[in-house]
Structure 1
Amino acid sequence: MSRLNLLEETRYEKVPVTVYKDQQEASKAVAHRIAELIRRKQAIGEKTVLGLATGATPVGVYNELARLHREEGLSFRDVVTFNLDEYYPMQPTAPQSYVRFMDENLFNHIDIEKANVHIPDGTLPLEEIPAFCLEYERKIEKLGGLDLQVLGIGRTGHIGFNEPGSAPNSGTRLVTLDDLTRRDASRDFGGKENVPTKAITMGIGTIFKAREIVLMAWNGKKASIVRKAVEGEISGEVPATYLQLSDNVEFVLDQDAAAELTRFGTPWLVKDCVWDAQLTRKAVIWLSNTVKKPILKLTEEDYNAHGMAQLGVNRGPVYNINIDVFNQLQHTITGWPGGKPNSDDSGRPERANPAQKRVLIFSPHPDDDVISMGGTFIRLVDQGHDVHVAYQTSGNTAVWDDDVLRYMEFAIDFSRSIGQDGETLSSVYEQMRAFIARKQPNQVDTREIQDVKAFIRKSEAIAGARYAGLSDDHIHFQALPFYESGKTKKNPVTDRDIELTMELLQKVKPHQVFAAGDFEDPHGTHIVCFNIITEALRRLRAAGETWVEDCWLWMYRGAWHEFETHEIEMAVPLSPQEVERKRIAIFKHQSQKDRPVFPGDDEREFWVRAQERNRETARRYDHLGLADYEAMEAFVRFHY
């Protein structure tokens, strides 16, 4: 690509941006950039001064730096580090401490001198913090300033813990955390109420003095805030926009985090495009929403005024383009998610045959099935398909402790009511009460408490699946080993997780698999479960299982975000009565009402989120000029 073309393509971007295929590739690139800096300065006898970040974003960088030390002899003896921030108050030995994070992810694996490591002190008395912050700044200045500062970006646009409202010339100081920042951290602390309200952070002014600044962001959860930081106006409401004023900054992104930048999200605004069917569909839907007209009312003037003249010239007349896209959307709508028997299926998202399909719905947590596709679930059963549901994990970390005691009290009373003494249960109950009374945030539960929490989720899942019409022998509980750590941080996936999934798939031999494709799940369980399913299917195909060739995998979305309209390949409309049935199925999960343990950044109840999301999907179709349904559940086919 010529420099002129690149400048045109990136003209909305106010900072240099480098986009990599994935976060692994990007993390390695940043790590090697740091390693090159260290070696260059070592060669001239100088120390390297690094500003480091915490959180999930830089973990891959630290892993690669540790590998470079271990396998390629990269030494950190002449490296001095200053971390961006630390919660306040915070003990350095606490699981959530950034001291512990840095030790576990980097410092324990390299040869850095402990005296060269600097992290804000979360144990200081409040009155000593101002002096500590001034000394932190003085140490950086005495070393000649930061050579390179590594940053992540929070969903409020914060860098470090410089929340909205931070001044561009701010120094190291004590700050109050934004509510969204605390919600994002809630899983690490066992609930938002346990997240500290304050933190000590390097200031934006301190960060600005670094000779190089590298801001990294991965996955679609960051796409919206990345676009604001890169293309938006400079504003204290999005502190990362202040980086637009620096000549030394670079944003390093993976493809998902870059997805909403103009050159990727709406490329026709900045360059000539290759107008394939997918891009055409995306552009026409965007145009319809932008000018607030149904698709069939879009005109050539609309195309020309919104960067789509080339499409009109190449594939026009524009009315024919409109009709084509309208028909594509019309063909995604079906009341027969298992395929309509004895019908022409050439314009339908699913095959007509076999008329009665074997269907396997995978649910990462015990309620994702009904929250995400409860209406479709019920319709598949009503239409006579052989439907199974598999709950991949126990969900036992997402139950309140007081629910455990309530269920135990019920069990004790029930035992006594049928002539049992209940003494053994009473003893276990008292041990549980004592443990819960002294339990620390995110402390691992006892095995008995974990079991009761799992039993609660299991009984609710059975109730929901039975309400959908399943018999007990079609309800499967996998309890995949990767999840059963008792902690919010899960174990690595092993072959056993995949083998258990292969065994179930081989038992059912489904024509349809439904799986959670909601990779913005803040807990990460969905993508882990999805990858287990796809790997199991690939291994079965490689083993010569011919039924796999006829098995279609449909992705659904959960409680967070819906698919974009142009992505949807099957839209199942729900009547008001079906919306009500779905709501009742969700209500069977009483432990997740009225306030789940880990709600993410949305305080609405799950049934409200699901109902409003399904209604919004239907509304989007209506605004494009299609039929106005009460609600819709959306699916995208995955080709494994």
Structure 2
Amino acid sequence: MTSTTITYPNATPNIPIKKFEKANSVVYKNSKDASLFVAREIADLIKQKAAKGKNVVLGLATGSSPTKVYEYLIQFHQNEGLSFKNVITFNLDEYYPQRPDAIQSYVRFMNEHLFDHIDIKKENIHIPDGTIEEKDLSQYCADYEKNIKKSGGIDLQLLGIGRTGHVGFNEPGSSVNSLTRLIRLDKITRLDAASDFFGEENVPDRAITMGVGSILAADKIFLMAWGEGKAPIVKEALEGPILESIPATFLQHHDNCTFVLDTAAASELTRIKTPWLVEDCNWTDNLIKKAVIWLSAKVNKAILKITNEDYNEYGMGNLVAEIGTAEDINLKVFNQLQRTITGWPGGKPNFDDSERPERADPFPKRSLIFSPHPDDDVISMGGTLLRLVDQGHEVHIAYQTSGNIAVFDDEVIRFLDFAQDTVHGPEATNELSQLMQEVRTFLKQKHPGDVDTPEIQKFKGLIRKGEALSACRYCGVKEENAHFLNLPFYETGTVKKKLPTERDIQITCDLLNKIQPHQIFAAGDLSDPHGTHRVCLQLIFDSLKRLRDQSWVKDCYLWLYRGAWQEWDIADMEMAVPIGPKDLDRKRNAIFKHQSQKDSAMFPGSDAREFWQRAEQRNKETATKYDQLGLPEYEAIEGFVRYHFKKE
């Protein structure tokens, strides 16, 4: 298939796809804008069909990718009168076996996220049935295909993409001609679903899915992908060869398929990551820095050793022609990187700060570290936290959520056993014994995904609070400077959270106004566009925007750190804080204070290692990259990007 350039309103400008992408793609600034585009396309199609007196057949997906699309469709129905009476839907897949009322059921997902809020006819909804007897599955799947054809075929198919490259549940090895069938799930897919099922061991190992052939039969396809975690597989699907081991590459066969991406999911595409390989560039300072760092890795040379010939060989000759000699470019970028390195994250007093990341004055500073969960602070920037305390700054830590769902049930029993053995007095003992019995009875009967009682949620929150206070004491942060916000949006007792409300913003504003920090550190780890970190960061943005007329806000720097999974690109880092061997040990010990997360975390994500192991590797790799660029060699480095608010 020959690719063309497509321009959509409000999307980032598309560079013509000349060499690499084998299907159409459009990149939006964020998943919200991208979802609005997809929702509008669906709404327009529904209206066009209705005007002709025809039904429209939609192929629908589940997971985090389409949730905002469904929110917009509900808004269109409620606010703009969009009717779904002429809509017939077929969902891609369902776990097997699976009860429709189970918390992880796709039947429940679709009802909660879409069907219960629109006027679609119930008989027009089709979702694979996870309760069908196994002996009847073959016929059931064949009938599912017949029903699609009987309805006229799918007009528009929505897709997400898994880290294995699966679409629907078509795992690696699926045939291009495959139809609806029972399939065994890949280990990576089950690992990615572990948080929804409260443990990988609870994830079904099979699913019913529409096949690749079923998907390719649709008239139009939108594949949606959000976040950095999807970037590598998006690149493979769009730029790589067609392989059964990456089923999403089969979409390259389709004449009307568009990959709808946010900037994070598109970050590995050649035209985004290395645009100079696609066509001549407008060489901004940031792009020059990015290109030189890339070239340094390609030729395996320190920056100051790169030659004119190296630039020419890797398609960057026009940069030399525009800017000057290789030596001029190299020195410019080297100095930029050198100025990001500082052992004084709060600013170095009585020194010229004109080329330092942070201001020298005032000193000491009030530093406020926002931690989405009770351990993100020490995992992500523990070395910098220790440095701020050691250098005499007034350090505050705001734990935005309780983190209570990430505590194993046996931890509650362990702490209550300790309390029962230490509490004196018959009345207190009897009350505690009764509570203990109630807790044990509930937990014994609890199924994976069941919501804890309010008392158990409270106990789990207290466990994490105690661990956070222990880490604060170890790091030298005063206990009164540890602020437990317990933001209401988080307190559902389930993986799925409530939407943030005015109360969440007000709690954040009140703390900011109380401390009036000179610098703020916040989690910018947004690989999951619908995760807790993203909500917590947006609440900080919204609160600072509301307080923007306050004098202290105008003089406050906002630094973003990353989590245990990823680090900022070296080209984007604006402050790099070296961590020596001793402080790396101290950071590790601070992480160990969070005992409920030690050895095995409730939600480990796609990386089975402990958090301290991930963090150390990340920090050491950053230091190695700086060293390879020709900069000083350090044990480890924590990186930060400064967030600049746009003037309104």
Range of TM-score over shorter length: over 0.9
Q: Is the 8 A contact 2:521 2:559 kept in 1?
A: yes
2:567 counterpart of 1:552: no
AA at the equivalent of 2:235: R
Deviations 1:433-474 (A, max 9, x none): 111111122221111111111111011101101110122222
2:599 counterpart of 1:594: yes
2:413 counterpart of 1:405: yes
What are the equivalent positions in structure 2 for 1:553-632 lying under 5 Å apart? 553-632=558-637
Q: Is the 8 A contact 1:9 1:271 kept in 2?
A: no
Report deviation, 1:36.
Answer: 2.9
Aligned pair partner of 2:527 in 520, 532, 550: 520
Between the aligned partners of 2:83 and 2:200, the Cα distance in structure 1 is: 39
Q: Is the 8 A contact 2:304 2:331 kept in 1?
A: yes
Between the aligned partners of 1:495 and 1:158, the Cα distance in structure 2 is: 39
Between the aligned partners of 1:521 and 1:604, the Cα distance in structure 2 is: 19
Match of 2:160 in 1: 152
Match of 1:447 in 2: 454
What are the equivalent positions in structure 2 for 1:312-327 lying under 5 Å apart? 312-327=320-335
Between the aligned partners of 1:67 and 1:529, the Cα distance in structure 2 is: 24
Report deviation, 1:414.
Answer: 1.1
Aligned pair partner of 1:345 in 343, 349, 353: 353
2:257 counterpart of 1:238: no
What are the equivalent positions in structure 2 for 1:57-96 lying under 5 Å apart? 57-96=65-104
Moved more, 364-373 or 506-515: 506-515
Change in Cα spacing, 1:505 to 1:381, as seen in structure 2 (3 Å) is: same
AA at the equivalent of 1:306: Y
Give 5+ residue unaligned stretches, structure 1. Answer: none
Report deviation, 1:324.
Answer: 0.9
Q: Is the 8 A contact 1:157 1:164 kept in 2?
A: yes
Report deviation, 1:45.
Answer: 3.7
AA at the equivalent of 1:211: D
2:442 counterpart of 1:435: yes
AA at the equivalent of 2:130: G
Match of 2:57 in 1: 49
Deviations 1:583-633 (A, max 9, x none): 111111100011000011110000101111110110110111111111111
Report deviation, 1:14.
Answer: 0.1
SS at match of 1:567: coil
Report deviation, 1:498.
Answer: 1.8
Deviations 1:551-603 (A, max 9, x none): 11111111110000001111111111111111111111100011000011110
2:231 counterpart of 1:226: no
Report deviation, 1:421.
Answer: 5.7
AA at the equivalent of 1:323: L
Moved more, 214-223 or 449-458: 214-223
Provide the aligned length of Structure 1 versus Structure 2.
637
Between the aligned partners of 2:280 and 2:135, the Cα distance in structure 1 is: 60
SS at match of 2:95: strand
What are the equivalent positions in structure 2 for 1:113-124 lying under 5 Å apart? 113-124=121-132
Between the aligned partners of 1:135 and 1:8, the Cα distance in structure 2 is: 43
Q: Is the 8 A contact 2:226 2:529 kept in 1?
A: no
AA at the equivalent of 1:384: G
AA at the equivalent of 2:215: I
Q: Is the 8 A contact 2:6 2:24 kept in 1?
A: no
AA at the equivalent of 2:108: R
Between the aligned partners of 1:205 and 1:80, the Cα distance in structure 2 is: 20
AA at the equivalent of 1:393: T
What are the equivalent positions in structure 2 for 1:22-41 lying under 5 Å apart? 22-41=30-49
TM-score, reference length from structure 1: 0.96
TM-score, reference length from structure 2: 0.95
Aligned pair partner of 1:258 in 263, 266, 278: 266
AA at the equivalent of 2:213: G
Moved more, 475-484 or 371-380: 475-484
SS at match of 1:338: coil
Report deviation, 1:67.
Answer: 3.0
Between the aligned partners of 1:377 and 1:460, the Cα distance in structure 2 is: 17
Q: Is the 8 A contact 2:227 2:529 kept in 1?
A: no
Report deviation, 1:513.
Answer: 1.0
Deviations 1:151-191 (A, max 9, x none): 11112111000011111111111111112212222222222
What are the equivalent positions in structure 2 for 1:420-569 lying under 5 Å apart? 422-521=429-528, 524-542=531-549, 545-569=550-574
User: Percent identity among equivalent residues?
Assistant: 58
Between the aligned partners of 1:58 and 1:434, the Cα distance in structure 2 is: 38
Report deviation, 1:200.
Answer: 0.1
Between the aligned partners of 2:468 and 2:14, the Cα distance in structure 1 is: 52
2:210 counterpart of 1:202: yes
Task: Give RMSD over aligned pairs.
Answer: 2.0
Match of 1:292 in 2: 300
Report deviation, 1:145.
Answer: 2.1
Change in Cα spacing, 1:480 to 1:500, as seen in structure 2 (3 Å) is: same
Q: Is the 8 A contact 1:521 1:560 kept in 2?
A: no
Moved more, 485-494 or 554-563: 485-494
SS at match of 1:215: strand
SS at match of 2:120: coil
AA at the equivalent of 2:86: D
Deviations 1:22-48 (A, max 9, x none): 323322322232233333333444332
Deviations 1:383-422 (A, max 9, x none): 1111111111111111000010011111101115x88762
SS at match of 1:616: helix
Between the aligned partners of 2:60 and 2:469, the Cα distance in structure 1 is: 47
SS at match of 1:443: coil
Between the aligned partners of 1:601 and 1:376, the Cα distance in structure 2 is: 26
Between the aligned partners of 1:262 and 1:377, the Cα distance in structure 2 is: 36
Match of 1:387 in 2: 395
Change in Cα spacing, 1:135 to 1:396, as seen in structure 2 (3 Å) is: same
Between the aligned partners of 2:517 and 2:5, the Cα distance in structure 1 is: 50
